């Protein structure tokens, strides 16, 4: 596919297409089938985070979740349900502001951060039915505050507090993941470095007249180490692929969905899987989600932990560095970056 510079092809947001009453542009039509009539993944494990440090059973359940689905629903994660609702409310409020207001945070030049629509990197790439606000939230000195909304007024403060809470949760979960594989403490965490990054992606999926032909987000696995997703309270939209079958991911209003990302698959030498997932659209209802991608310092070298490599399970991945940077190029072509680093 011929590559284009992201800045040369900024298009109308999906919301603008709808407001203008435009015909659905062909570029949004997905080439493959989109099955909306798939089973509910009702057995994705619900993990009690508060018990992970003391309960061997809960650790086993975590291990089983990450080897089978590559994700779990985290409950008792230490974040109040009312605070989660506040984060959802501010996110919806932002996307409902007039376009002139949202454009104050618009992506500039060939930056990936800011408010905008799907990135156009290739001429024939199909587009996602998704407007988003993408912000680096950690480390603090990487904040590009000109992209951070001042409206709604409490947006910045709430995002800051939410990030701090997720950071604690991430650490707790990484420790539990190490333990669940009988690894020494720090086997994963020490690889992240002081400059470990977190990016927040506020996803807004307006209703779409052709949900059987248009995707909210193309199939992908996340390039992070783990992604913590605050799903819409009640609108289903996320599907996950397991053994070549798509499933709906249930919504549990007070839970956070934790997805393993490619870095975790690499560090665990393929024991934990970074699941392929996609977002579909809904003809009646809009949907919001907030995905926070937690990744190691991009300058750190990441590779399979030695203890997980042996004759029976030879090393499966090369050493990677700056992995997230190449991510979008693969994503927009419908390819998986992890396939490029497989041995």
Ligand X SMILES: O=C(O)CCC(=O)C(=O)O
Residue from 34, 49, 229, 324 binding ligand X (CB under 6 A) = 229
Residue 238 engages ligand X in binding (rule: CB under 6 A): yes
Residue from 138, 291, 316, 341 binding ligand X (CB under 6 A) = 291
**Which one of 80-88, 101-109, 110-118, 230-238 is the stretch in contact with ligand X (CB under 6 A)?**
230-238
> Who contacts 294 (Cβ-Cβ below 8 Å, separation ≥6)?
166, 170, 196, 197, 198, 224, 225, 226, 227, 228, 261
Nearest distance from C-beta of residue 19 to Fe ion, angstroms: 27
Where is 205: in which H helix or E strand? Answer: strand 197-205
Nearest distance from C-beta of residue 335 to ligand X, angstroms: 16
Q: What's the CA gap between 147 and 244, in Å, rounded?
A: 39
Tell me if 52 sits within 8 A of 59, measured CB to CB. yes
Residue 222 engages Fe ion in binding (rule: CB under 5 A): yes
Nearest distance from C-beta of residue 264 to ligand X, angstroms: 15
Nearest distance from C-beta of residue 236 to ligand X, angstroms: 9
Residue 336 engages ligand X in binding (rule: CB under 6 A): no
3-state secondary structure at position 308: helix
Residue from 239, 289, 295, 332 binding ligand X (CB under 6 A) = 289
Tell me if 74 sits within 8 A of 173, measured CB to CB. yes
Alpha-carbon separation of residue 225 from 96, 189, 275 (angstroms): 31, 10, 12
Residue from 113, 170, 222, 262 binding ligand X (CB under 6 A) = 222
What does 280 interact with, of ligand X, Fe ion, none (CB < 5 to 8 A by kind)? none
From residue 31 to residue 70, the character string flagging contacts with ligand X as x (rule: CB under 6 A) and all else as - is ----------------------------------------
Give the footprint of Fe ion on residues 316-335 (CB under 5 A). Answer: none
HSE (side-chain half, CA atoms, 13 Å) at 179: 17
Where is 169: in which H helix or E strand? Answer: helix 155-180
| DSSP one-letter string for 254-268 | T-EEEEE-HHHHHHT
Binding site for ligand X (CB under 6 A): 201, 203, 217, 222, 229, 231, 237-238, 277, 279, 289, 291
Binding site for Fe ion (CB under 5 A): 222
């Amino acid at each position: 596919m011929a590559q284009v510079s992201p800045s040369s092809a900024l298009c109308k947001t999906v919301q603008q297409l709808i407001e203008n009453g435009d015909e659905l542009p062909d570029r949004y039509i997905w080439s493959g089938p989109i099955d909306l009539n798939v089973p509910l993944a009702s057995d994705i494990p619900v993990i009690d985070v508060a018990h992970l440090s003391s309960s061997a059973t809960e650790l086993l359940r975590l291990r089983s979740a990450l080897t089978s689905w590559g994700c779990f629903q985290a409950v008792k994660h230490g974040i109040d349900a009312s605070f989660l609702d506040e984060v959802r409310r501010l996110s919806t409020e932002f996307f409902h502001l007039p376009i002139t207001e949202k454009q104050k945070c618009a992506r500039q030049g060939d930056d990936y951060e800011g408010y905008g629509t799907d990135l156009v990197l290739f001429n024939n790439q199909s587009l996602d039915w998704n407007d988003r606000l993408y912000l680096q939230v950690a480390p603090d000195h990487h904040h590009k505050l000109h992209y951070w909304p001042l409206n709604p007024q409490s947006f910045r403060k709430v995002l800051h507090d939410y990030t701090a809470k997720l950071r604690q949760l991430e650490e707790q979960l990484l420790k539990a993941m190490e333990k669940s594989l009988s690894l020494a403490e720090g086997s994963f965490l020490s690889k992240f470095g002081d400059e470990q990054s977190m990016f927040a992606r506020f996803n807004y999926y307006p209703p779409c007249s052709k949900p059987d032909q248009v995707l909210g987000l193309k199939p992908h696995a996340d390039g992070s180490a783990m992604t913590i997703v605050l799903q819409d309270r009640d609108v289903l939209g996320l599907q996950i692929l397991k053994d070549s079958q798509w499933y709906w991911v249930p919504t549990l209003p007070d839970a956070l969905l934790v997805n393993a990302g490619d870095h975790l698959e690499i560090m665990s030498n393929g024991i934990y899987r970074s699941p392929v997932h996609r977002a579909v659209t809904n003809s009646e209802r809009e949907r919001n989600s907030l995905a926070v991608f937690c990744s190691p310092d991009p300058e750190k070298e990441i590779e399979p932990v030695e203890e997980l490599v042996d004759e029976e399970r030879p090393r499966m991945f090369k050493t990677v560095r700056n992995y997230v940077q190449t991510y979008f190029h693969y994503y927009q072509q419908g390819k998986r970056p992890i396939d490029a680093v497989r041995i």
